[in-house]
Chains A and B, each alone.
Chain A
Amino acid sequence: MNVLLLALLIQSPTDVDAALDKLAAVRPGDGAAYVAAREKVLAFGPEALAPRGAPDRWTAGGWVRAMAAEACRLRLANPELAAAVDHPEGLDPARYRLFRHGEPTVMPALARLGADAVALLIERWRWTFELHSYSDGEAGEKERETLRNAILSLPGRVPDARTRHFLAEVLASKESRDAWRRDAAVSLGMTGGTAALPPLTAILDDGTQPAPVREACARALGRIADASALDAIRTRLAGEKDAQVRRSFLHGLGILGSAWGWSARGKETAGLAESMRAGCAETLVDALKKFPAESETIGIALSMTAWEPSLAAVESIAADSSASPEVRAAAAQVVPALKKSLSRKR
């Protein structure tokens, strides 16, 4: 019987929890301390870690510990996966120079690893990001930003609801770069469900927040497939002063009302899909009258929504002699694309 097994046999649950507590308490960014503490946790084996990293443990107060436990479990249970996450091919200059555009690209490959990759990626984000080697200078910065974008975006793409608190933390932190907060906002919208609404609207309603972050929150609302998200956009659209944020509300309506998106959610959502697409389309048609300069964005959004009655409504605006020339022109500009989209989706 080797020493490790012996150690496992004599360690109590309390020992595991203590080691995990110590691991989770490592200061973010202190990779060396984390790795040292992680070695002790790994010694408890995957079975001991599995319940401690279970999805229900990823709570507001416990997600860091649960994420660390799950990352450790995966390192033991699936070392190949851990290696793939630790050393993404698309971050290696020798590899990405073979890409057609010759630049670091990791998102598609990491996404195909599935939800299991998420805990390992968040572990890297929090503690070991700088333990890995990057190129010098501008290339290295690009590699870092590419990986950060993937780490923050993947939870939404998978989607992985466990990550809600992690994303909310990144979004809320004013120490985060705007680009990270933006990626976190959109990903949160994709993973968080209605629970994502409060953190997103809090930033949207805070005029002191950077405009690029508010813009991303506006888009993120379109990722929450629920009537409350539509209401959140509706109530804020007309009064929004920032043009880019307003544009993102409109873009978000297209995503929220996407006919293909709702089709993918299955027949069980058919009723909600109808009301959501109708609501998005009505809001967009109304926006056409208020914001004719946004006709391009509104046209794309209406085409995605592909709500049949919206065509007659837009054509009516285009023919309405009481409307301003700008509004009529904007409506006329939208009609061909909307017709094309409707013909595709009938």
Chain B
Amino acid sequence: MMRFTRWFVATALLAAAFGACKRGGSDDDGPPAAPPAPPVTPPPPLAVDLDVDTNRNGTVHASDDETGENGWTSTQGAVFYFNIDDDDNNNSEDHLDTAVNGSSDALDLARIVIRHMPSLPSNATLSIAVSAGAQGRVRVFRNDGGSWSSAYAAGASFLVPASLAIAGDVELGIEARERYSPAWDGRVTLVLEARDVTNALLGTDTVLLKCAPWLMASNLWPLEDLCVVNVGSSNSAFRSTLSSTCSSAGATYVEIPGASYSQDRWVQDSHETGAIYLPAAGVPRRRIDNVLQLSRWREVDAWCQNSLWGPDFDFVLRFSTNTSSMNYGGNLEVTGPLNSYPWGRILIGGGTSSPIGGGTAITRRFVQAYRDHFTALDAQGPWLEISTEWLIVGHVDEIVQVVPAPANSRGWAVLIASPDLARANLQAASDNGGGNLTVFAGRGGGWQTTVSAILGNSALMTYNDEVQTRIDGVRAVLQGQLGLASSEIIEVPVLFEDSGFGGAVAYNPGVVNLVVIPSTNGTTYLVIPDPEGPDQPGDVWQAATTAAIQPLYTAGSPVSIIYTDIFNAYHVNLGEAHCGVNFVRTPPAADWWDD
């Protein structure tokens, strides 16, 4: 809101006093008074006005953006951008330099306008104070006739030459230089002050802007691009399945050359993709894709940096040196929309418990710096942690996966690993005379076994009994913390085994660790690890998985389930299908700021 100045008020008071004196003189009985002096014309009032895109229509308007400019609500409040794309392709985040690198980079600056102040004394001082929490975390540029120069990078405030405001509107552009964290909630308040030569305040105006939060991509968002590492013949069937499924889904299939990245195939773990939405002129919103690099420090991590990062594709460089597998992308998922979380809620794994089988409790969690970041991202945070510390890898995607469920009122469901179902499937096969049926048929290295051998292995069954109690604990958390009904958590058959030190890993290829491909054609494609169960007549674990998933879909929004061989490339290496892929997805056509 613009403020009329103290100078104007003071001048008016002086003029009134002057007039009163004159009137006093006219009451005198002395000689006739001299003709009155010509009236003093007060200077035009000084309006100190700082404007931002309060109504989020992509432009800054002098009057339309006035109301609510110093606050933030679901309908009003300006947005700015953490400038971490690379418009000049110099392999450096754009916010790191003090230049505006071309028109694309200029587009990344949220505009702030100091309105024309023709009556501002030429010796006045114009300053903009930056709120304490944002100091040093934003950068402001000034546009002088099409040439941008840095006006602020650190400190409590910065100056703007008064002559510029006297001559006309002054355009500024602001970018964030730092991600959300406990130390900064992404908000900046700017206070413009005009002061005269005596430092008397002539006027002031305040605006508030909020940095657009990262929106982590959900499995419910339609797929645009899918990437997988080519590690040769061992994953050729998987790649072929993904390629053809992407073709059906209208998505782009991308292969990463494994030889260039030491055959590191776990591209799911290297980064998490998402999007930023910004207000824009002429279109509903501007989308900038985003990569959050995770604290993994392994070979294929470089791929997203080399291949995805670029103009209008953000890159948040990892910000921890901790290399625990708890920090990988498979341990970071997001739910579908919830009442209090329209963009879903971030789900991570970790906790404190004894290993399966007992022993001293251990704590394994996502590293603190990332947990803090997820909490600060108020669109999808604070994170919800489920117990995965008892898994040797420790990821949420080993036990749960969010899938579209158009037949559900909520529109999505959680698949959850179930040793109980896997065991029951084997027991049913055995009861039907299939005790000698082969499991993991044709697999060497001692893998091939029988239904009876599994069911008769008391150590394995006891181990899975305990795993099931842990997973039931996770189920209880999902129901209690997210408000999911029991019917919204769908069990799929997965047995686990001890991989050493009590740490659990999927025994059969983990069907819960699937690739979710919603498409714009209305069909959801699910590429699921072939569990390689006994055939009676078909694979009983496949049949149970399909039977569990199929009811989540409708004739109008069907599902296409594709089982694929991931055994040698992934399963024996302690991962499954989801672990081997990553995505770029289309965010919903909705504005986060409405929520």
A interface, CB within 8 angstroms of B: 97-103, 105-109, 111-114, 146, 149-150, 153, 156-157, 159, 182, 186, 190, 212, 215-216, 219, 222, 225, 244, 247-248, 251-252, 254-255, 258-266, 299-300, 303-304, 336-337, 340-341, 344
A-chain residues with CB within 8 Å of residue B461 when the two chains form the complex: 258, 260-261, 263-264
Give B345-389 interface residues, CB cut-off 8 Å to A: 354, 357-360
Does A101 contact B476, Cβ atoms closer than 8 Å?
Answer: no
How many angstroms between the C-alpha atoms of A157 and B499 in the bound complex?
11
Q: How far is the CB of A294 from chain B (nearest CB, A)?
A: 12
A-B contacts, 29 of them at CB < 8 A, read A98-B264, A98-B573, A100-B328, A101-B392, A102-B325, A105-B499, A106-B500, A108-B505, A109-B446, A111-B446, A149-B500, A157-B459, A186-B357, A219-B357, A219-B358, A252-B358, A255-B357, A255-B462, A259-B465, A260-B462, A260-B465, A261-B462, A263-B455, A264-B460, A265-B458, A300-B466, A303-B472, A340-B475, A344-B420
What are the 5 A-B residue pairs with the smallest beta carbon separation, nearest first?
Answer: A112-B446, A261-B462, A107-B500, A100-B575, A101-B325
Give the residues in chain B near A101, CB-CB below 8 Å: 325, 392-394, 574
A261-B458 in contact (CB<8A) = yes
Q: What class of interface size applies to chain B in its complex with A?
A: 35 or more
| Given A101-B392, A105-B392, A264-B461, 7 other A-B residues pairs in contact with their CB atoms under 8 A | A112-B446, A113-B446, A153-B500, A182-B359, A219-B358, A258-B461, A258-B466
In contact, A108 and B499 (Cβ under 8 angstroms): yes
Query: Given A101-B393, A157-B498 in contact, is the A255-B445 Cβ separation under 8 Å?
Result: no
Pick the contact of B459: A190, A303, A304 (CB < 8 A). A190
- Whether, in the assembled complex, B168 has its beta carbon less than 8 Å from a beta carbon of chain A, the answer is no
Assembly CA distance A336 to B505 (angstroms): 26
Select B465's contact among A103, A182, A252, A304, beta carbons within 8 Å: A304
Known: A100-B575, A219-B359, A260-B423. A255 touches B500 (CB 8 A): no
A225 lies within 8 A of B458 (CB): yes
Chain A binding site: helix, strand, loop or mixed by DSSP?
helix
Docked CA distance A234–B457 (Å): 26
Query: Which of B325, B457, B475, B500 has most chain A Cβ within 10 Å?
Result: B500
B360 partner, pick from A97, A244, A303, beta carbons under 8 A: A244
**Residue interface bits B446-474, CB-to-A below 8 A is 1, else 0:** 11000000011111111011101110110
Q: How far is the CB of A269 from chain B (nearest CB, A)?
A: 9
Most buried by A among B266, B446, B575: B446
Name the B residues within 8 Å of A247 (CB-CB). 354
Question: How close is A161's CB to chain B, nearest CB, in angstroms?
Answer: 13
B263 touches A98 (CB 8 A): yes
- The CA of A298 and the CA of B339, in the complex, are separated in Å by 35
A100 touches B462 (CB 8 A): no
CB-nearest residue of chain A to B500: A107
Give bound CA distance, A332 to B298, whole Å. 46
Contact A212 B469 (CB under 8 A): no
Tell me if B93 counts as interface (CB < 8 A to partner A). no
In the complex the two chains form, is B465's CB within 8 Å of A258's CB?
A: yes
Interface check B497, CB cutoff 8 A: yes
Does B269 interact with chain A (Cβ within 8 Å)? yes
Complex CA–CA separation, A100 to B420 (angstroms): 25
**1/0 per residue B489-517: CB within 8 Å of A?**
00000000111110001000000000000
Given contacts A252-B358, A259-B465, A337-B476, whether A109 and B393 have CB atoms under 8 Å apart is no
- Docked Cα-Cα span, A266 to B262, in Å, equals 47
CA distance A265 to B354 in the complex (A): 26
- Tell whether, in the assembled complex, residue B466 and residue A108 are in contact, meaning their CB atoms are under 8 Å apart: no
- A289: min CB distance to chain B, Å: 21
C-alpha spacing A35/B457, complex, angstroms: 36
Chain A residues in 8 Å Cβ range of B447: 112
In the assembled complex, the Cα of A109 lies from the Cα of B446 at a distance in Å of: 8
Instruction: Report yes or no: A340 in contact with B472, Cβ–Cβ below 8 A.
Output: yes
Cα A103 to Cα B263 with chains together (Å): 15
Count chain B CB atoms within 10 A of each CB in A101, A106, A111 and give the residue with the most. Answer: A101
Q: How far is the CB of A155 from chain B (nearest CB, A)?
A: 11
CA distance A300 to B573 in the complex (A): 30
Q: In the complex, A101→B330 CA distance in Å? A: 11
Chain B contacts for A265, CB-based, 8 A: 456, 458
Query: Is B84 in the interface zone, CB < 8 Å from A?
Result: no
Chain A neighbourhood of B526, CB < 8 A:
none
A97 interface neighbour in B262, B455, B499, Cβ under 8 Å: B262
Q: Cβ of B265 < 8 Å from any Cβ of A?
A: yes
Query: Which B residues, 309 to 362, have Cβ-Cβ distances below 8 Å to chain A?
Result: 325, 328, 330, 354, 357-360
Complex CA distance for A255 and B358, rounded to whole angstroms: 9
Question: Least Cβ distance of A23 to chain B in Å?
Answer: 28
**Minimum CB–CB distance for B498 against chain A, Å:** 6
Contact of B579 with A by CB under 8 A? yes
- How far apart sit A114 and B461, CA to CA, in the bound complex (Å)? 17
Contact (Cβ within 8 A) B573 A150 = no
When the two chains form their complex, are residues B497 and A108 in contact, meaning their CB atoms are under 8 A apart?
yes
Interface centre among B263, B269, B354, B445 (most CB of A within 10 A): B354
Q: Is the CB of A251 within 8 A of B354?
A: yes
Determine if B573 and A99 form an interchain contact, defined as CB atoms under 8 angstroms apart.
yes
Q: Which of B266, B469, B574 contacts A341 (CB 8 A)?
A: B469
The CA-CA distance from A83 to B457 in the complex, in Å, is 27
A100 to B573, CA, bound (A): 6
